[in-house]
Structure 1
C-alpha cells in the first residue's frame, strides 16, 4: 500500500472495513449507523470531548487512572470503585497485551483461564473478544466518560468494536503505538492502519458524534526530551486531522524538573495549534494530558506517594487539562484497586489545593519554553522537508534518517542514536544528538547544561550519567548523582 497523508476515500474505506470486521467473529456485531444512534443518546457527562471542553473553559485539571482486568463483571466493579472511591473524573479501559498484538485466540484462552481461576489472568480487558454489547455494559455501568487505552500498532478492529460499544475516547497513534511498543512493525504500515482508525473517528464526527483522540505522549516514558514527544504528538495530530478528527488531547510524560515540565505543557498546545492552523486544520479542539512519572518507582509506598504528589503539583501548576495518575504499587506490578484509588485521592488533593495558584512566567521558564519551541520546530520542519510536503511520508523518512529519534525504543525502525541525560537541575538534555536537525545554538545550550553537571559532580559527561538517571527516582532522587 502506498502511504500518503490524504483523507481515505469512502469507497476505499468501506471495502477495507469489510476485511477488518471479518477478521474476528465479534466484528460482525458492529453496525455503524446503529452505533452512531447509540452515541447520540449518551448524556454529555459521558462524552469525553464535551467534558474536556467544559474543563478547559473552567480551568479544571481532571484526574484519570489506568485500569483493566480480564473478566467483564470484575472490570465493571473495578471502574465503579475508582469512580466512587477514588473520585476519577474519567475512567480507562486498559486493553490486554494479546489484544494489542491482534492475538485474539490467546486472549480468549486468557478469559477462560481467568474464569477458572476466579481472577484476572490477563493484564487488561480483551474488548475485541467480548464485543460491542459487553463494551456497552461497561459504558452504561459508570457515570463518567471511558477511554480505550492500549498500545496497538494495528488497532482497526479494536476501534470498530469499542467505538460502537460507546467509548468516547481512543488513545494512540501510528507512531506512538508502534515505535515504543513493537520491534518489527514497519512505520508505513502502522501509520496507514491508524489512518483507518482516524477515518472511522472522522466518520462519526461527520455524523454528529464527538470522539476524542489522544496520541500517546510519553513514548518510551523514560528521559524523553520534550521536543521529541512534542514532534510525534503534533505529527499524529496533523495525520488525524486530515482524516476528519476534530477533538485531540496531546500528551506529555513527566520528566521531573518543574520548569521544564510546565514549559512543555504550555508549549504543546501552542505549537499544535500553530501547525494545525498553518496546514489548514483550524477549528480543532486541542487539550493536553500530563502523565505522571513513567519510569521506575520506589518500592516504599510512602516514597511512591511523594513521586505521585510531585506529578500532581506539576500538573496543577502547568494548568494541564487532564493528568494520568500512577499508584503507590508501581514498583510491585499490577496495583490493587485500593492502591489505584489511593493514587487518585492523593493527586486530587494536591490539584484542589493548587487550583488557585500559578507559576509566574520567570526568565527560567521563558528560556525553557523558547528552547522547546526551537527544537520542536526544527524537527517538524525537517520532517516536512523530507516528506516533500507530506507528513506521513515525512514521518517515515524522518525516523529512518534519525531526524526523529525516540530514546530506548525497541523498534528496528528507530535509529536509536540519541542519548538523554539530566542537567544539574534535573532537566532532561541531549548528551548525544544523534542525527537530530539542531543548529549550533541549540547544541551549545545542551552541551553547556550537561557540562555544568559534570563540573558539579567532578566527572566527565558519559553514558554512566544516563544509567544513573534511569535508576535515580527508584533510589529517592531525581538526578543520578555518583555516591
Structure 2
C-alpha cells in the first residue's frame, strides 16, 4: 500500500487484516463484533478515555506506573498490588521484548520457562501469546483503566488482541516506536503499520467505543529538546486523527529544568490545538502525559527518590493530565512490585501537596513557551512542505533530510546530527542544531545559551558538555559541570 496521510477504506483495512491475524494462532480468536459488545459493557470507571476526560476537567494529575510480567496470574497480582498498595490511578501492561520484535515463538518459550521456574523470565507480558481469552482474564481481574505500553515497530497483532480483550488505551506511534527502538526498520513501513493500529481504533470509534491513543513522547529519553518531541507528537497525533482516533494523549519526557518543563507541557497542548484546528480535527479530545526523568538514575534508592519527587513536583505544577512514574530501582534493573508502589506513593504525595498551587505566569515562562512553539512551528511547517501537504510523506522526507532529527537514536533513518546540552540554568538547548530548519535568531539563541554556560564554567563549548550532561543526574547534579 502506498504511504499517504489518508484514512484507510474498510476494504483496504480488511485486506491487510487477514494477513495480520494470521501472524500467530491467537489471532484467530479476534472477533470484532464480539469485542465491540464486550467494550459496551465496560463500566466508565474502567475506561481510560473517560477517566482522562474527567481528570482534565477537574484539573487532576493521574498517576500511572510501568509494569508487566510473563504469567497471567502473576501479572494480575502485580497490577492489583500497584492499584491497592501503590494507589495508582491508571494501570499499564508493559509488553515483553520478544513480542515487541514479533518473536512470538521465543515469547512462548519464555512463558513455558517461567512456568517451570515459578517466576517471570520475561521483561513484560506476552499478550499475543496469551491471546484474547488470556488477556481478558487480566481485564476482568483489575478494577482500573488499563493501557498497553510496549515499544513495538509492528504492533498490529498486539493491538488486535489487546483491544479485543478489553483494553481501553494503546500506546505508540510510527515514529516514536521506530526511531528510538529500531535500527533497520524504515519509517514508511512503521507509519503504515501504525496507520493500521489507528484505523483499528477508528473502527471501534465508529461503533461507539472510545479508545485512548498515546504516542510515545520521550523518544530516546535523554536530553530531547521539547520542540523535537513536540513536533513528533503533533505529527503522530494528526496521523492518528486522520484514521478516526477521537481521544489522544500527547506526551513529553522531563528534561529537569522546572521552568522549561512546565513551559513544555503548556506549549505541547497549545501547539496541538493550533495544528489540529488548522486541519479540522477539533472533535478529538486532547490530554497530556508527563514522563518522569528517562535518563540515568542514581543507584542509591534515597537519591533516586529525589529524582522521582522532582518529576512528581514538575508534573503537578505543569498540570499534566497524567504522569508516568519511575521507581527507586531504575538504575538496578526490573523493579520489585514494592519499589514500584513506593515510586507511585511518593509521586502521589507530591502531586497532592501541589494540587492547589501553580507556577506564576511570569515573562520568563511565557518566553520559554514561545521559544518552544517557534522551534516546533519551524519543524512542522517544513515537514508539511516536504510532504506537499501530507504529514506522513513529509515525516519520512524530513528525517531523511535531518529537518526532523532525534538525538542518540539507534535508527539509521535519523541523521543524528543534532547535539543537545544544557544551558547555565539546566534547560536543554542545542550545542549543534544540525539540519533543523530554525530561523537565524533561534540558532543564535541556542548558540548564546551554550556560550553563556561555557563562560560561567571557564571552558570552551565542546562535545564534552554533552557527555557531562548525560551522566549528571546519576551523579547527583542536573548540569554536568567540570569539577
CA distance in 2, matches of 1:287, 1:390: 24
CA distance in 1, matches of 2:371, 2:408: 23
How do 1:396-475 residues align onto structure 2 when only pairs under 5 Å count?
396-475=396-475
**Unaligned regions of 5+ residues in structure 1, if any?**
none
What displacement does 1:188 show? 0.2
Counterpart position of 1:221: 221
CA distance in 2, matches of 1:119, 1:172: 28
CA distance in 2, matches of 1:206, 1:141: 28
Q: Give CA deviations for 1:416-460 in whole Å, capped at 9, x if unaligned.
A: 100000000000000001000001110111111110100010001
How do 1:109-188 residues align onto structure 2 when only pairs under 5 Å count?
109-188=109-188
What displacement does 1:306 show? 0.3
CA distance in 1, matches of 2:280, 2:232: 19
What displacement does 1:376 show? 0.3
CA distance in 1, matches of 2:217, 2:341: 23
What displacement does 1:113 show? 0.8
Counterpart position of 1:61: 61
Tell me whether 403-412 or 134-143 shows the greater mean CA deviation.
Answer: 134-143
CA distance in 1, matches of 2:9, 2:262: 40
CA distance in 1, matches of 2:10, 2:277: 25
Counterpart position of 2:212: 212
CA distance in 2, matches of 1:454, 1:25: 59
CA distance in 2, matches of 1:7, 1:25: 28
What displacement does 1:283 show? 1.2
Q: Which runs of 4+ in 1 moved over 3 A?
A: none
- Residue 285 in structure 1 maps to residue 285 in structure 2: yes
CA distance in 1, matches of 2:279, 2:367: 27
- Normalising by structure 1, we get a TM-score of 1.00
CA distance in 1, matches of 2:246, 2:461: 45
CA distance in 2, matches of 1:440, 1:408: 25
Q: Give CA deviations for 1:230-260 in whole Å, capped at 9, x if unaligned.
A: 0000000000000000000000000000000
CA distance in 2, matches of 1:113, 1:203: 37
What displacement does 1:136 show? 1.0
Counterpart position of 1:48: 48
CA distance in 2, matches of 1:145, 1:109: 29
CA distance in 2, matches of 1:362, 1:451: 25
- Residue 37 in structure 1 maps to residue 37 in structure 2: yes
- Residue 84 in structure 1 maps to residue 84 in structure 2: yes
- Residue 305 in structure 1 maps to residue 305 in structure 2: yes
Counterpart position of 1:327: 327
Q: Give CA deviations for 1:342-380 in whole Å, capped at 9, x if unaligned.
A: 000000000000000000111111110000010000000
What displacement does 1:270 show? 1.0
CA distance in 1, matches of 2:347, 2:280: 38
Tell me whether 340-349 or 115-124 shows the greater mean CA deviation.
Answer: 115-124
CA distance in 1, matches of 2:411, 2:322: 29
CA distance in 2, matches of 1:139, 1:58: 26
How do 1:67-78 residues align onto structure 2 when only pairs under 5 Å count?
67-78=67-78
Q: Give CA deviations for 1:175-229 in whole Å, capped at 9, x if unaligned.
A: 0000000000000000000000000000000100000000000000000000000
Q: Give CA deviations for 1:256-297 in whole Å, capped at 9, x if unaligned.
A: 000000000001011111111101111110000000000000
CA distance in 1, matches of 2:461, 2:117: 51
Q: Secondary structure in 1 aligned to 2:377?
A: helix
Q: Give CA deviations for 1:134-160 in whole Å, capped at 9, x if unaligned.
A: 111111111110000000010000000
CA distance in 2, matches of 1:402, 1:356: 43
**Unaligned regions of 5+ residues in structure 2, if any?**
none
- Normalising by structure 2, we get a TM-score of 1.00
CA distance in 2, matches of 1:277, 1:363: 26
Q: Secondary structure in 1 aligned to 2:361?
A: coil
What displacement does 1:15 show? 1.3
Counterpart position of 1:240: 240
CA distance in 2, matches of 1:269, 1:365: 15
Counterpart position of 1:265: 265
- Computed over aligned residues only, the root mean square deviation of the Cα atoms, in angstroms, reads 0.5
Tell me whether 62-71 or 132-141 shows the greater mean CA deviation.
Answer: 132-141
Q: Secondary structure in 1 aligned to 2:293?
A: coil
Q: Secondary structure in 2 aligned to 1:250?
A: strand
What displacement does 1:2 show? 1.4
Q: Secondary structure in 1 aligned to 2:213?
A: strand
